[in-house]
Amino acid sequence: MRGCAASGALDDTLYTKPLPWIGLYVAAASFLCAAAMAFDAYSGFRRRMLWFPARLFSLNATTITLLGVANKFPVDLNTSMPRSIDQLTKLSGTTLICTVMANFVPSLGMDLNVASDVVAVGILVVTVIVNVCIQMGTGVIYAFLPEHITIMILMMAQLVVLISSAVSVKTTRQILEGQYVGHCKRAYDRTAKDSFSRSNLASYIETAWWMAQNYRPKYGVSEMGSASAFFCLVAAIVLAEAVLRALFMKSSISAFCSGTSDYRWSTTLVLIVQAAAVVIGTVAPVCRWLYRIQFEKVPGALEVEEYWVMRLKGWKTPPSAFQLMMGWGWKIVDRLKNSVLDGLIRLQSRVVLSCKLIHLTPQCLNKGGWLFKPASSPNQNETLEYYVLHVEWERDWGKVIEKSELKDMKKWKRRSIKDRSLVELINEHSTQGFKDVLAFYGARDEPLNCWALPLVTLVSIAVSLPGICPNSVGSLLRGVKLGRKYVDLLDRNLSNKDPSDLSNADPSTVRKETKVAETVWHDLNNHKWFNLDWHGSRLRKKSGKQRIEAIMSDLASSSYRKPAASGSTNGSSSSKRGSSSTASSKPSKSRQKVRASRYMYRACTTILKDYKDQTEVVLFEGLRRAISDMLGACLTNLHPAIRDQCFNTSYYSSEEREMSARNAVSIFGEVEGILDSIVTAPKKGACMENWRI
């Protein structure tokens, strides 16, 4: 029978066979932790962000799981570990926990699930400590006992720092949120009467980028971060001392037991990887701590700021009327709760003061400048200084981080300048003052609501013309593709405005026609306009004029000219399903065809009237000129659009704020080459219909 020997006893000879591969798995998890911490350290040095923000290695379920796997050896209760290298792997695993926890601190302000994640880390730490104590009692761990005790104390200290920092996360977020909303409102009001200029736009994106990048609390540069870095450094020194002691103790035969661990060769690999992870992971916390010392003065007194204990005080609510009516039982519970909270508040205050003392010790030693040469604070832009978002521990860091953050912004802007298709399209083919915006929509049949649908309609006609140089068509499409993001941005702003603020456009119609434009653009990539295939056998051999006439013939059919009944999609069967709100939010194909056909009909009518005797090349030039003018005229409204993108973001999430700031920087970088012509062009408003005046 499988599992039993010939004698009937349990056959356990194969039980330990997979252990070396489990050790390899542990080494892989440790390597991933080391690689992530190395990336954050390298990124901080490369970008001159010496507060080392957590970009890859942060407090989340993935990193906690990796840390749990990497600590397989310290929690293994009964596998024999006789050699010195085997005993050291027990110590290196617990030291790695101290190192990783120090690298978790900067990400506390970004973690939306900070409470559950800190609890998970606490469970892991307590489990490891209990298992190590059991092994010290049973003799599985018989060497480096002082080092193990020291590391366990440091692990508990790191956990206390992590919990103490997590308690204040919600409060500091609220403080920074209030500052962000207030700064955005003041900036929006202050810039209401600004003129459209390159310098104003540059100022907007700098301010928006600055606030978006400083929105989250930076616990890495707090007193808690400094204390955590100190514990991390001590843990690394303890591991280094143990390794050196093991090397010197090898000469003593009785120092370690003989034999081989069941993990065999994998213990050496695990020790090397985890020791490297400890060294790598110590770099960022210690450099962050020492770098901050150079920019701070030693304060005259130590105090605990209110935000450290505000949340705990908030939990001390007075008893409600219902609880008072329930008698003495509820009163006892309420008093007990308040007594516990008072104890936690005192403990939190002592933890904060202890961390401040640890943080200030090197500063006191450096008072004469003999330990670290004091760094001169960079000259900070006075306008940006006003928009610094900070709590108490970050008050001196606005000067330090401005240079690197703005450098990062400029690098982001340079990325967006690579494609010059839009700049070349407008600079080379637009008219002075963008006079041909309505060249193909001159008739006053009905108002032009949005920008996107008239634009993509002309592009559809331009790419359908035969005999045009493919390079010209390709450059036109690339330019329009880049320009559509600004057209969509302007249309989105129009659709969000109050109808009373718009004289020549209806916001609901703008939303519907923008969705139709998306469909037309998608079909355009497949060389189609709804069901009409530009490269099909029906139109392939026809001239440009004949193709326009064929389009006009199709537009006269009922499928394009006859709208569906209100609240339905197409016919009585469609009216039975869906609601009017759904139909309004997502127009049916037939409704989209009807809306698009109106613009196509107007453009084709103008072409047959004004270009009937001209060649396809002349017609293409006219269409390209009108398209360029449309894009240029749309960009004259860039000032309020970028202003909204930068400062009208108080209701966004932190991720959306960063994305909005990045989009504003990208927009500025892409259109910087045509700003001069846009700034000098006439400003006729956000609606295309205004350009008829």
For residue 502, being part of any structural domain is answered with yes
pLDDT per position as a tens digit, 670-688: 787 777 777 777 777 778 8
pLDDT of residue 71: 93
**In the numeric block, which tokens belong to residue 534?**
């530009």
Domain boundary among 293, 312, 327: 293
CB 465 within 8 A of CB 534: no
CB 487 within 8 A of CB 451: yes
Backbone CA torsion sign across 47, 413, 643, 193:
positive
pLDDT per position as a tens digit, 94-109: 999 999 999 999 888 7
pLDDT per position as a tens digit, 447-457: 787 889 999 99
Query: Which tops the pLDDT comparison, 449 or 501?
Result: 449
Q: Which residue has the tokens 């209401």?
A: 192
Return the closest-CA partner of residue 342 out of 312, 307, 377. Answer: 312
What is the percent of the chain with per-residue pLDDT over 70, rounded to a whole number? Answer: 78
Degrees to nearest 5, angle at CA 540 with 535 and 542? 135
pLDDT of residue 381: 53
**In the numeric block, which tokens belong to residue 389?**
């978002």
What is the percent of the chain with per-residue pLDDT over 90, rounded to a whole number? Answer: 26
pLDDT of residue 583: 40
pLDDT per position as a tens digit, 183-220: 888 888 888 777 777 788 888 888 888 787 776 666 66
Query: Which tops the pLDDT comparison, 161 or 652?
Result: 161
pLDDT of residue 384: 59
Q: Which residue has the tokens 């017609």?
A: 619
> Which residue type is seen at 418?
K
pLDDT per position as a tens digit, 524-551: 887 788 777 766 666 777 787 888 888 7
Give whole-number Cα distances, 258 to 92, 247, 616, in Å: 21, 16, 91
For residue 686, being part of any structural domain is answered with no
- How many CB atoms sit inside 10 A of residue 425's CB? 23
Domain boundary among 276, 293, 310: 293
pLDDT of residue 82: 80
pLDDT per position as a tens digit, 114-128: 889 999 999 999 999
Cα separation, 678 vs 664, whole angstroms: 17
Which own/partner contact pairs does 689-692 have at CB distance under 8 Å and 24+ positions apart?
689/447, 689/448, 689/449, 689/504, 689/505, 690/504, 691/434, 691/437, 691/438, 691/633, 692/438, 692/444
pLDDT of residue 622: 92
Maximum Cα–Cα distance for the chain, whole Å?
Answer: 106
Q: Which range marks the domain in which residue 606 is found?
A: 437-564+583-635
For residue 174, being part of any structural domain is answered with no
The number of domains in the chain is 2
pLDDT of residue 372: 52
pLDDT of residue 435: 87
Return the closest-CA partner of residue 649 out of 661, 639, 637, 667. Answer: 661
> Which residue type is seen at 80?
S
pLDDT of residue 548: 83
Query: Which tops the pLDDT comparison, 170 or 568?
Result: 170
> Which residue type is seen at 316?
K
Report DSSP letters for 300-324, one per residue: SS----HHHHHHHHHT-PPPPHHHH
For residue 36, being part of any structural domain is answered with yes
pLDDT of residue 388: 62
Cα separation, 364 vs 355, whole angstroms: 14
Mean pLDDT throughout 340-350? 91
pTM of the model: 0.74
Residue 337 above 90 pLDDT?
Answer: no
pLDDT of residue 565: 43
For residue 91, being part of any structural domain is answered with yes
pLDDT of residue 585: 42
Q: State the pLDDT confidence band at 590, using cuts at 50, 70 and 90.
A: confident
pLDDT of residue 571: 39
Q: State the pLDDT confidence band at 304, using cuts at 50, 70 and 90.
A: confident
Beta bridge partners of 4: 10
Residue 410 C-alpha from the chain's centroid: 18
Cα separation, 204 vs 104, whole angstroms: 33
Return the closest-CA partner of residue 121 out of 97, 103, 99. Answer: 97
pLDDT of residue 691: 81
Residue 302 above 80 pLDDT?
Answer: no
Cα separation, 488 vs 110, whole angstroms: 31
CB 361 within 8 A of CB 372: no
pLDDT of residue 561: 55
For residue 265, being part of any structural domain is answered with yes
For residue 243, being part of any structural domain is answered with yes
**CA 549, 550, 553, 557: dihedral to nearest 10 degrees?**
-150
Mean pLDDT of the chain: 80
Q: Is 10 helix (H, G, I), strand (E, B) or coil?
A: strand
Query: Which tops the pLDDT comparison, 560 or 615?
Result: 615
Cα separation, 163 vs 299, whole angstroms: 25
pLDDT of residue 246: 86
pLDDT of residue 254: 58
> Which residue type is seen at 5?
A
H helices of 417-451, where? 421-429
Q: State the pLDDT confidence band at 432, using cuts at 50, 70 and 90.
A: confident
CB 195 within 8 A of CB 255: no
pLDDT of residue 504: 58
Mean pLDDT throughout 288-296? 73
pLDDT per position as a tens digit, 138-172: 988 988 899 999 999 999 999 999 999 999 888 88
Contacts of 266 (CB under 8 A, 6+ apart): 19, 20, 21, 22, 23, 24, 26, 27
Give whole-number Cα distances, 446 to 391, 411, 441, 551, 599, in Å: 55, 45, 10, 20, 10
pLDDT per position as a tens digit, 441-491: 876 667 787 889 999 999 998 988 888 898 999 999 999 998 888 888 888
Beta bridge partners of 529: 532
Query: Which tops the pLDDT comparison, 357 or 407?
Result: 357
For residue 366, being part of any structural domain is answered with no
Domain boundary among 234, 260, 293: 293
With residue 388 as reference, give the H or E element that holds it: none
Q: Is 593 helix (H, G, I), strand (E, B) or coil?
A: helix
Degrees to nearest 5, angle at CA 634 with 633 and 638? 115
Q: State the pLDDT confidence band at 664, using cuts at 50, 70 and 90.
A: confident
Cα separation, 456 vs 471, whole angstroms: 19
pLDDT per position as a tens digit, 245-266: 888 776 554 567 777 888 888 9
Q: State the pLDDT confidence band at 359, using cuts at 50, 70 and 90.
A: confident
* HEC assignment per residue over 155-212: HHHHHHHHHHHHHCHHHHHHHHHHHHHHHHHHHHHHCCCCCCCHHHHHHHHHHHHHHH
Beta bridge partners of 532: 529
pLDDT of residue 123: 96
* HEC assignment per residue over 390-423: CCHHHCCHHHHHHHHHHHHHHHHHHHHCCCCHHH
**In the numeric block, which tokens belong to residue 500?**
């009373």
Mean pLDDT throughout 593-601? 83
Query: Which tops the pLDDT comparison, 362 or 435?
Result: 435
Cα separation, 387 vs 385, whole angstroms: 5
